[in-house]
Amino acid sequence: MIREIDLAFIKLHILYHAEKEEVYGLGLIEELGRHGYALGPGTLYPTLSKMERTGLLTSESRTVNHKQRKYYRITPDGTKQLAKVKAKIGELYREVVEGKDE
Ligand SMILES: [Zn+2]
């Protein structure tokens, strides 16, 4: 259960950051590490691929310092999904964290 929830939180972080700017694997691993998610490439890359296949992200490969790097951005559908989830997070927070059940 915790792993499933963590994965959902990780996906939300990815969507959030991909909406603000281009993201790439290693940068996300570092960013998520700062939030306490010990995430390896073996978990992150399949997650990014899946999010791309399901139309949430789009990617572009570019060469940086002689290395191929894949950059991801949110799609219009990803933006729509993120907005919906944000509303749900707000509601969940008010009930589960603040104890305000309306
Ligand atoms: Zn984050």
Tens digit of each residue's pLDDT (9 = 90 or more) over 9-44: 999 999 999 999 999 999 999 999 999 999 899 999
74: tokens are 């949110």
Distance 32 CA to ligand 1 centre (A): 6
Cβ count near 59 (within 10 Å): 16
Domain that holds residue 25: 2-97
Closest CA to 31 of 49, 9, 50: 9
Quick check: is 68 in a domain?
A: yes
Quick check: is 29 in a domain?
A: yes
Quick check: is 102 in a domain?
A: no
Quick check: is 32 in a domain?
A: yes
Distance 7 CA to ligand 1 centre (A): 13
Give 3-state DSSP helix, strand, coil % of the chain, rounded to 5. Answer: 65, 15, 20
pLDDT in tens, 64-89: 889 899 999 999 999 999 999 999 99
Quick check: is 48 in a domain?
A: yes
21: tokens are 């700017």
Distance 15 CA to ligand 1 centre (A): 9
68: tokens are 């191929």
